[in-house]
Structure 1
Amino acid sequence: MSDTSKPVTYASPPCLAAEVDPTYFDPLATDPDQARDVARWRKSERARLRGLRDALSVAARQEVGRAISDHLRAVVKEKFNGARGKVLSCYWPIKGEPDLRGLMAEWHAVGVLIALPIVEVKAAPLVFRRWTPETQMVRGDWNIPVPPPEAEQVTPDITLAPMIGWTVECYRLGYGGGYFDRTLAALDPRPVSIGIALSDARIETIYPQPHDIPLDMVVTDAGLRAERTER
């Protein structure tokens, strides 16, 4: 992606899409210049997609949350028989993410075991603590409400992942911390992973790097938009 024999110039900073071949993927690539180019492109794309999400009105965000909840409820019912008795990891919404807390409470009421991800150690896989509507939340990393340390620690069978951007290959553009990829790589057996995003946040590629792990499905306000047939 980068020619180290001459200085790198970019056609349209800060977006580097013109400098990256969308069809290129070397699973063994460790070239630092390529990694930097991809990181800079992703930072620019995150800002663009965050802007689209932030521009939604309160009413539009609420409608998106309702639509995603409806589609996700149907997916879990159809593919996992409603997930009763299974551990399903959700998320507490931040930064304009689709709000699924009503669906979390609904699932809990019918016997789904709800968990939330926790950062216990920086740059390490997430852990998961049990949540119920009665859980007294505390402030965790990035000031996000989380179940308290005494809450039961569980391992998810199904996990939801909010996404800033997504591809039809089920790759996820997240916030860049790498926590979700580390977690999927560490869990054995690996849970079914479902990305949650706006339909308009679809992108052609994230320029996958060796550490990027594709999800199993993507559910948006327009329904189930992507699904991998092999895991």
Structure 2
Amino acid sequence: MIDHLENEDPEFASPACLMHEVDPAYMGLGSECRDIGAWRRVERRRLMEMRALTPLAEREERTRALCRRLDDVLPPDLRKTISLFWPMRGEPDLRTWMSSLRDRGATCLLPVVIQKNCPLVFRPWQQGDLLERGFFNIPVPVRGEEHLPEIVIAPVIGFDSGCYRLGFGGGYFDRTLAAFSSRPLVIGIGYEFQRIGSIHPQAHDIPMDLIVTDQSSMVREEPRSLLSGHHKCEA
């Protein structure tokens, strides 16, 4: 068990599955899906390399600006369960901001893979709590009662004007959102340079309610959430 992990660089920042390795023809998918899948793999590599090449000091400054925007869209009294993430491979590090959420009454959660190809579960975590390496070496809380998040904050590799998120391609995030009996408020976060024209969304892709970057915030649907006064994404 470990109580603190820094600067780890596993293969995935979000758990992956093997669906992308199955022949699309076997799954009943056509050439269009194969072409989009190939394009996404190239685009992921490009965007991840761009993020990795961004100097640490610049990423930290962008993250501080991003957190200020998150503070603007969330209410001062935040007595809710909020799922965040353990930062990997240049993703915004929100752990300091998580402490401020706790001061505002929030219960902060981290996602946990219990079984491959199944929806994630969520356990509470705060600085100092023990962590262990879960699936794909991602740090997860050692113990804690499972909670359903009322707000989910997830990193993006890329995003578009429809508030669609390009992730690692494992399917865990969309699978988890689809399994919720009551959908939480879902916020994708990243840096402004991760914006792309379109992720070419497919039937299984679930859009975010909101995308927040260091320079902008975009709301897809109103009124559905705690949010108001932000640019509405084009559907």
- TM class by smaller structure: 0.7 to 0.9
Letter of the aligned partner of 2:98 in structure 1? M
One of 11, 32, 41 as aligned partner of 1:34: 32
User: Counterpart in 1 of 2:64?
Assistant: 66
User: Counterpart in 2 of 1:203?
Assistant: 196
In 2, Cα distance between the equivalents of 1:168 and 1:213? Answer: 14
In 2, Cα distance between the equivalents of 1:165 and 1:137? Answer: 28
Please say which of residues 127-136 and 86-95 is displaced more in the overlay.
127-136
Does residue 78 of structure 2 align to residue 83 of structure 1? Answer: yes
User: Counterpart in 1 of 2:47?
Assistant: 49
Between structure 1 and structure 2, the one with the greater Rg is 1
Q: CA deviation at 1:101?
A: 0.4
- TM-score scaled to structure 1, two decimals? 0.81
Give secondary structure in 1 for the equivalent of 2:74: helix
In 2, Cα distance between the equivalents of 1:183 and 1:169? Answer: 20
In 2, Cα distance between the equivalents of 1:100 and 1:94? Answer: 11
- TM-score scaled to structure 2, two decimals? 0.80
Deviations 1:108-144 (A, max 9, x none): 1221010000111111111100112231111112212
Deviations 1:46-73 (A, max 9, x none): 0111111011111011111111111111
In 2, Cα distance between the equivalents of 1:102 and 1:60? Answer: 17
Is this contact kept in 2: 1:116–1:128, CA < 8 A? yes
In 1, Cα distance between the equivalents of 2:178 and 2:78? Answer: 23
Does residue 106 of structure 2 align to residue 108 of structure 1? Answer: no
Does residue 164 of structure 2 align to residue 171 of structure 1? Answer: yes
Q: CA deviation at 1:228?
A: 2.6
Give secondary structure in 2 for the equivalent of 1:218: strand
User: Counterpart in 1 of 2:92?
Assistant: 98
Give secondary structure in 2 for the equivalent of 1:154: coil
In 2, Cα distance between the equivalents of 1:152 and 1:73? Answer: 27
User: Counterpart in 2 of 1:9?
Assistant: none
User: Counterpart in 2 of 1:192?
Assistant: 185
In 2, Cα distance between the equivalents of 1:144 and 1:60? Answer: 25
Give the ranges of 4+ consecutive aligned residues of structure 1 lying more than 4 Å apart after TM superposition.
none
Letter of the aligned partner of 1:217 in structure 2? L
Deviations 1:10-44 (A, max 9, x none): xxxxxxxxxxxxxxxxxxxx642111111000001
Report the count of equivalent residues.
197
Is this contact kept in 2: 1:169–1:226, CA < 8 A? no
User: Counterpart in 2 of 1:127?
Assistant: 121
Letter of the aligned partner of 2:32 in structure 1? Q
Is this contact kept in 2: 1:168–1:226, CA < 8 A? no
Structure 1 residues 230, 177: closer, same or farther in 2, change over 3 A? farther
In 1, Cα distance between the equivalents of 2:42 and 2:196? Answer: 13
Letter of the aligned partner of 1:191 in structure 2? P
Q: CA deviation at 1:229?
A: 2.9
In 1, Cα distance between the equivalents of 2:178 and 2:162? Answer: 18
In 1, Cα distance between the equivalents of 2:56 and 2:77? Answer: 30
Give secondary structure in 1 for the equivalent of 2:67: helix
Comparing both chains, which one has the higher relative contact order based on Cα–Cα distances under 8 Å and sequence gaps of 6 or more? 2
Give secondary structure in 2 for the equivalent of 1:176: coil
One of 134, 152, 172 as aligned partner of 1:159: 152
In structure 2, the gaps of 5 or more residues are 1-27, 225-235
Q: CA deviation at 1:227?
A: 3.1
Q: CA deviation at 1:205?
A: 1.0
User: Counterpart in 2 of 1:15?
Assistant: none
Is this contact kept in 2: 1:170–1:228, CA < 8 A? no
In 1, Cα distance between the equivalents of 2:35 and 2:129? Answer: 43
Is this contact kept in 1: 2:66–2:214, CA < 8 A? yes
CA RMSD of aligned residues (A): 1.4
